[in-house]
Structure 1
Amino acid sequence: MKNSSEKTFYEGGPSKADLIINLLAGFTLIGLPFTVGAIVRALWLRFKITNKRISVTGGWLGRDKTQLVYSQIAEVRSIPRGLGSYGDMVLVLKDGARLEMRSIPNFRETEAFIIGNLKQPIRKAEEENAKGFSA
């Protein structure tokens, strides 16, 4: 019989580095919208990444909750931010829907964990970009 217990890899909020960088940007008029976004993320965005599913709680006052299992993921798109200490990730689902996860702490380890839990082989978008596009 298989061990079906769920093990949590990460549970918590967005990267603190995202908040700090955007608070510093808030001293300029141009940086104010980024500062507000970082404060809202820090207050209400929460991730729970386990070996069975990904759950994201966010939205205004944390009222929106999205859960998905790894078998729903068709593609992982990612971009590092803050000198690679955190990053953003978009999970493209098989039905074409997208789940955006912003300011993920320990970005590279989290990305590797998610890709490692996928049952089917997928292509990361950045691997395709490295090869170049053919028209």
Structure 2
Amino acid sequence: MATATASSVTRLPSAAASHHWHPCLITKLPFPSHITISPRPTSRLHVSSKPITTSASATSKKDEETIFFDGGAHYGDLLANILLGFTLLWLPLSLAAVFRAFFLRYRFTNLRVTVISGLTGQDRSDFSYDVIEDVQVVPRFIGEWGDVIITLRDGTKVDLRSVPKFREIAKYCLSMADKPVVLKDSASKGF
């Protein structure tokens, strides 16, 4: 356990001491004045911090990130769930569709899959195509949109709900992962 020395601790005035401040919490350590603390943290996408030193003809397709798909949930999912939301029984599913429509984004690039979610967009999951083991699709409505279930090598299943162009995206994921492009359709049998 670290102890504070008397020279590094600043004594609080008596008015501040009545607010239950602990005297070891205030120190004389220098704090840089150029650092500003924003109330909302930001997230930035940095692909590479290394400069490209090869010639223009020798660059590979992995050097720069190109976007294949960037978007949110399918608008038909929101519309269908709002129409069914007029029944009280379907209301929780309608609220989930509203949150998916406004607070969920999928980005598929040639380097990685990114899922951005949360009320402020701070929840972010990135994984490369190298860790993909399997991709399955589940069509919704009449095949207009669907769910993409990506199984990673460590057994984690990433469920992407209400993805537009879900078959093309699943084929793209399999081709980027160097897997045979055979989609496993997990459609339910029966009604």
Q: Is the TM value for this pair above 0.5?
A: yes
Residue 92 (structure 2) aligns with? 33
In structure 2, the residue corresponding to 1:83 is in which secondary structure? coil
Query: Structure 2 length as normaliser, TM-score?
Result: 0.62
Match of 2:128 among 59, 66, 69: 69
In structure 1, the residue corresponding to 2:73 is in which secondary structure? coil
Larger radius of gyration: 2
Determine which structure has the larger helix proportion and give its number. 1
- On the 8 A contact 2:116/2:123 being kept in 1, the answer is yes
Q: CA deviation at 1:125?
A: 3.8
Distance in 2 between residues matched to 1:68 and 1:101, nearest whole Å: 13
Q: 1:124 to 1:112 in 2, by over 3 A?
A: closer
Residue 117 (structure 2) aligns with? 58
Residues 46-81 of structure 1 show CA distances to partners (whole Å, capped at 9, x for unaligned) of 011111110001134433110010010111121011
Distance in 2 between residues matched to 1:20 and 1:66, nearest whole Å: 27
- On the 8 A contact 2:149/2:160 being kept in 1, the answer is yes
Distance in 2 between residues matched to 1:75 and 1:121, nearest whole Å: 10
Residue 133 (structure 1) aligns with? none
Residue 81 (structure 1) aligns with? 140
Determine which structure has the larger strand proportion and give its number. 1
Q: CA deviation at 1:126?
A: 3.2
Q: CA deviation at 1:124?
A: 4.3
Query: Structure 1 length as normaliser, TM-score?
Result: 0.85
Match of 1:116 among 164, 175, 178: 175
* Structure 1: runs of 5+ lacking an equivalent: 130-135
Distance in 2 between residues matched to 1:58 and 1:123, nearest whole Å: 29
- Identity value in percent: 34
Equivalent residue letter for 1:45: L
Distance in 1 between residues matched to 2:106 and 2:93, nearest whole Å: 20
